[in-house]
Structure 1
């Protein structure tokens, strides 16, 4: 993109908006210390203060840089202001003349987090287009907004390149970072929080991105609060306001260009070879033996003229907030999503279909796994015949089909965890509801799970030589489909509750292993102790295996086999096989039970996501 590109100098921006004013006064956050630490030293405080009476504000069109050394509390402050922190936040916060509420903030603000949680198989344009569909209610504005963000972030040469993941080659880390920024920028928020937006970017790209953010702020009025770790001098010069933090306390708040003068007034001298920002960050860094210097900066701040001006400013903003003083002012209303529930579901379903088709781990690798397992079952139990001597062989073939095809569903966990991280980011920014996500997830899973079941059934059924008949075959397909869908639903729940892959796999494997023990294949149901027998009622394996056996053996007679061991001197009724294992002829009950499990697992997953996955740290 050249300097004279018309996209850089549009007279009318698709991101046109109006900014917001956010002020905060005496914001403090305490972290409870562990009981073990308190036991070692009973006289030590029970909490650690990570933010200590921090005040500040940002106005429309301003870039506020929040800076400090690692562990200073700048990211904690950003989380506290953006309602992304689980700990109680003390102090007052006023947004556009009203007491800030979580839903009110989410309706006008967006947050760019440090981690880049994106679906790796989507292209840059598809990712930004999806974000626009969530955030922009005006469909006609979406294409222009996406195009402008692509140009602003220098992504035009890569707009049709996939993001990339462990299995799909895609963008560089810096390019992915720009896409993450673009996903929230496309919403044209009034206020945007950016946590380390230049991390992973080279100096030239960081300067370009910050220049464009500055331009957007000035031309649209968008307010920006940005945490930075070690910006270049050129990037630092773009700040309107600087908040410098050390050990959770304010060392400076005010115009960025006056910060150096302020620290000179405290008696500090800047080395000749250091830039202003390097020098100031060195002053407030206590990691390398400069504790006295840091303490002086913290002690001096409350007595400074800048601190008095800041306090006067935030108190004026609080005075105009009727909510804060019990007046008649209206609190901000509960947020509404930019897109309807139906539109959210359609967009999520379309994206899910693309992710399913393109992600090797979701569809193609699993198709290969299920095809190989089906062929292996078919080759081992090839054309067993109609003799009573092979009844147990049919039994073991059906057990293996039921148990291990369900078990292989754990292979979908990596893809579900990737989706989970995207869900947390998007939901925290008010993109869509959990209900729309779960419904869409169910809709786009149905076709590919059915195809898996149909493919596996077609291979296994005819190679093994299961009882012929169209009705029996379709019952087999339906049973395998519902069984796999129950397993998929359990993986949805596990991925919602457990964000760690290896722990999730262990939980799934342990659960499936337990269910195998009570399905009736190894021991008759009647012989299992009453204290563990009840587990079969919550085990999909029990209902699935029972259906397979009844479907295979009901209304069948097996030829006598006097020459085998043990000998079968007379024909054997097929019903005797499943009755000997304590199983009953109740196919529809089994189907209803499997459907109920699908609904149950997904409802519990939705409740968990709603209550516990709000993007807070």
Structure 2
């Protein structure tokens, strides 16, 4: 008894994992689809597809490129693009697929999307904190993370970052497993995998499918996976096969019977031949052959499949409706129920694709609940929890850039170069234009440094955000607010270091004007970052994104008041859309405003009226420092006051960020 007690105390995680597995198995469901027809414009993608897969089974969806595999997966998971039109029925244990039932489905995309600088454990932990309900404690969520890593056999690389083509990280197979592990956190009843073995070598692909198969059999998952051309070992992991040919069914039934079926319809396979290679060669043959294969399944598929069911049936068979063709394969669908929480009652028998003489066979299994009433509703966690977790995640992702030695050296080096170029500029009339340049350069520099990273980062995160929003992980508002605040250290730290070096090396005005000008630089960086976020929200292509950002920023430079002082009256209003105008004007106000030092007149030719009779004035006053700050501001047509510039930058940042949120909210909706 003591030994048992010790084991119980020392292995709480093991107990939790067993409990999780039992819950998953209890909630496994069957998935059925009937007469699914999908059209995109004038093209039919899927044509009257019917079939199904039961809990604990793993079904492969195969076919050549363009056959409609991914489209079918999108239909079954409820993520079909809005531009597509779909007819037909998709049901889970007889219940029509709804938004609430979609919570039971997890979708692993063909392309791995992840944050480059997050470790495997960090990524899964943040996902668990966001997607698991608030009723679970943090400790329980972390135990789910450990269970997912152990189930997918990636515990050994939990502290490795994901990486990318430039940064070393997880291998391709480990990334695939990590993507599946992330979806297992929510305990899904159905797991959809889009090309899970693409990019993997045969050994990694087989190991991955064997692991997924174990999840299906041991934890009661229902698995549907598209797969292009697996080797024999990978193919043998699947229980069922749905073979598509030009959007139509060429075969659906037990995976290990496909060779026998095609031999039955006149296409024998020679010995020692990979079944996947054989069937793909058939459905990519001549047009006549493809028509014959599709027609053969319609006419003879039901007879072949019914012959596979040798054991006598325990229950009377349900007849197919009279209007249906007797020689077509049909899918038995469970009767609809009014309550989603009620167990599906088919007399204990699930849907089956085995048809015999117009009737449907069934196998005895335990009934399961499709959806439990105590499951979380629209979002599993509160807004505040989502904001805190997303803020930490976004900061961890951007921290390598914030603490980047290269980025620090770049900004400090640029600061010293600028400080040397404008080192202790004398207060003479010939240097006034140089003073203008000193303030215009950091205005543009920090616009570039803030706008481009923000635009590119939002573009890179788009796929991740859409995927997580499609899964109902968090509110868009929580993500957007956390994204905006997490990058504030970049906006605060580096402009501060830059300004401390350059401001004092150039010998600019001492006193509170330093703090004022620094605040203005910060606001300018925030406004430029807002421009980047706005551009990144609607421009999806990276090359186009750089082009649009460049044109936008160059236009803002032209309207900033440095290159053109007196704009035509009909275009003056456009300049107020440029953060550079507000920042540049405010910096000049801080340097040349009330209380600023005067400048010495040019003794030969002066542009200022006050210096016309400089010789007599010098003889009278004993000083030729006659040009005041107000004269300089008037000469450069600076009419905006400092508070107006600060208000303009704040309003511009708020408007651009609001517009960005609206674009993401209404034009970037997840499927």
- TM-score bin (small chain): 0.7 to 0.9
Instruction: Tell me which residue corresponds to 1:30.
Output: 39
Matched, 1:541 2:580: yes
Matched, 1:398 2:436: no
Indicate if the aligned counterparts of 1:163 and 1:176 stay in contact, CA closer than 8 A.
yes
Question: Alpha-carbon deviation of 1:233?
Answer: 2.3
Instruction: Tell me which residue corresponds to 1:94.
Output: 91
Matched, 1:594 2:644: no
Instruction: Tell me which residue corresponds to 2:502.
Output: 460
Unmatched segments (≥5 aa) in structure 2: 1-11, 307-317, 321-328, 341-369, 615-623
Q: Summarize the Cα distance change of 1:564–1:335 in structure 2 as closer, same or farther, 3 Å threshold.
A: farther
| SS class of match (2:48) | strand
Q: Summarize the Cα distance change of 1:575–1:585 in structure 2 as closer, same or farther, 3 Å threshold.
A: farther
Q: Summarize the Cα distance change of 1:425–1:366 in structure 2 as closer, same or farther, 3 Å threshold.
A: farther
Structure 2 distance, partners of 1:339, 1:155, is: 27
Which residue, out of 589, 610, 613, partners 2:665? 610
Instruction: Tell me which residue corresponds to 1:215.
Output: 214
Question: Alpha-carbon deviation of 1:335?
Answer: 4.9
Structure 1 distance, partners of 2:282, 2:602, is: 94
Which residue, out of 598, 603, 613, partners 1:558? 598
Q: Summarize the Cα distance change of 1:219–1:550 in structure 2 as closer, same or farther, 3 Å threshold.
A: same
Structure 2 distance, partners of 1:311, 1:343, is: 52
Structure 1 distance, partners of 2:17, 2:464, is: 34
Question: Alpha-carbon deviation of 1:510?
Answer: 0.6
Q: Summarize the Cα distance change of 1:340–1:174 in structure 2 as closer, same or farther, 3 Å threshold.
A: same
Indicate if the aligned counterparts of 1:370 and 1:405 stay in contact, CA closer than 8 A.
no
Instruction: Tell me which residue corresponds to 2:246.
Output: 247
- Which digits, 9 at most, give the CA deviation of each residue in 1:141-170, with x for residues without a partner? 222222222223222222111111244221
Question: Alpha-carbon deviation of 1:399?
Answer: 1.3
Indicate if the aligned counterparts of 1:515 and 1:536 stay in contact, CA closer than 8 A.
yes
Indicate if the aligned counterparts of 2:446 and 2:495 stay in contact, CA closer than 8 A.
no
Which residue, out of 30, 52, 57, partners 2:52? 57
Question: Alpha-carbon deviation of 1:58?
Answer: 2.6
Q: Summarize the Cα distance change of 1:9–1:275 in structure 2 as closer, same or farther, 3 Å threshold.
A: farther
Instruction: Tell me which residue corresponds to 1:433.
Output: 475
Structure 2 distance, partners of 1:67, 1:283, is: 12
| SS class of match (1:76) | helix
Structure 1 distance, partners of 2:643, 2:102, is: 46
| SS class of match (2:435) | helix
More off after superposition, 492-501 vs 478-487: 492-501
Question: Alpha-carbon deviation of 1:204?
Answer: 2.5
Instruction: Tell me which residue corresponds to 1:19.
Output: 28
Structure 1 distance, partners of 2:580, 2:292, is: 68
Question: Alpha-carbon deviation of 1:572?
Answer: 1.3
Instruction: Tell me which residue corresponds to 2:259.
Output: 260
Q: Summarize the Cα distance change of 1:111–1:456 in structure 2 as closer, same or farther, 3 Å threshold.
A: same
Instruction: Tell me which residue corresponds to 1:520.
Output: 561
Instruction: Tell me which residue corresponds to 2:621.
Output: none
Question: Alpha-carbon deviation of 1:186?
Answer: 2.2
Unmatched segments (≥5 aa) in structure 1: 1-5, 33-46, 325-330
Question: Alpha-carbon deviation of 1:596?
Answer: 2.0
Instruction: Tell me which residue corresponds to 1:39.
Output: none
Structure 2 distance, partners of 1:384, 1:519, is: 23
Structure 2 distance, partners of 1:576, 1:445, is: 40
Structure 2 distance, partners of 1:189, 1:365, is: 43
Instruction: Tell me which residue corresponds to 2:227.
Output: 228
Indicate if the aligned counterparts of 1:7 and 1:151 stay in contact, CA closer than 8 A.
no
- Which digits, 9 at most, give the CA deviation of each residue in 1:29-83, with x for residues without a partner? 2222xxxxxxxxxxxxxx1212111112233222121111222111121122223
Matched, 1:158 2:157: yes
Question: Alpha-carbon deviation of 1:363?
Answer: 5.2
Question: Alpha-carbon deviation of 1:464?
Answer: 1.5
Structure 2 distance, partners of 1:520, 1:393, is: 15
- Paired residues for 1:263-302 under 5 Å: 263-286=262-285, 290-302=286-298
Matched, 1:68 2:71: no
More off after superposition, 7-16 vs 110-119: 7-16
Structure 2 distance, partners of 1:394, 1:430, is: 53
Q: Summarize the Cα distance change of 1:376–1:319 in structure 2 as closer, same or farther, 3 Å threshold.
A: same
Structure 1 distance, partners of 2:158, 2:399, is: 20
More off after superposition, 274-283 vs 111-120: 274-283
Instruction: Tell me which residue corresponds to 2:532.
Output: 491
| SS class of match (1:531) | coil
Question: Alpha-carbon deviation of 1:511?
Answer: 0.7
Structure 1 distance, partners of 2:227, 2:382, is: 36
Structure 1 distance, partners of 2:435, 2:102, is: 58
Q: Summarize the Cα distance change of 1:430–1:306 in structure 2 as closer, same or farther, 3 Å threshold.
A: farther
Indicate if the aligned counterparts of 2:105 and 2:190 stay in contact, CA closer than 8 A.
yes
Question: Alpha-carbon deviation of 1:207?
Answer: 2.2
Which residue, out of 428, 445, 458, partners 1:416? 458
- Which digits, 9 at most, give the CA deviation of each residue in 1:272-327, with x for residues without a partner? 131333322222223xxx33222111112222353998995976526425699xxx
Indicate if the aligned counterparts of 2:192 and 2:223 stay in contact, CA closer than 8 A.
yes
Structure 1 distance, partners of 2:660, 2:100, is: 26
Indicate if the aligned counterparts of 2:17 and 2:144 stay in contact, CA closer than 8 A.
no
CA RMSD in angstroms, aligned pairs only: 2.9
Structure 2 distance, partners of 1:19, 1:584, is: 70
Structure 2 distance, partners of 1:120, 1:135, is: 20
Q: Which has the higher contact order (CA 8 A, sep 6+)?
A: 1
**TM-score relative to the length of structure 1:** 0.88
Question: Alpha-carbon deviation of 1:586?
Answer: 2.3
Structure 2 distance, partners of 1:462, 1:418, is: 38
| SS class of match (2:281) | helix
The structure with the larger Rg is 2
Instruction: Tell me which residue corresponds to 1:36.
Output: none
Q: Summarize the Cα distance change of 1:436–1:11 in structure 2 as closer, same or farther, 3 Å threshold.
A: closer
Structure 2 distance, partners of 1:587, 1:106, is: 54
**Count of residues paired in the alignment:** 583
**TM-score relative to the length of structure 2:** 0.81
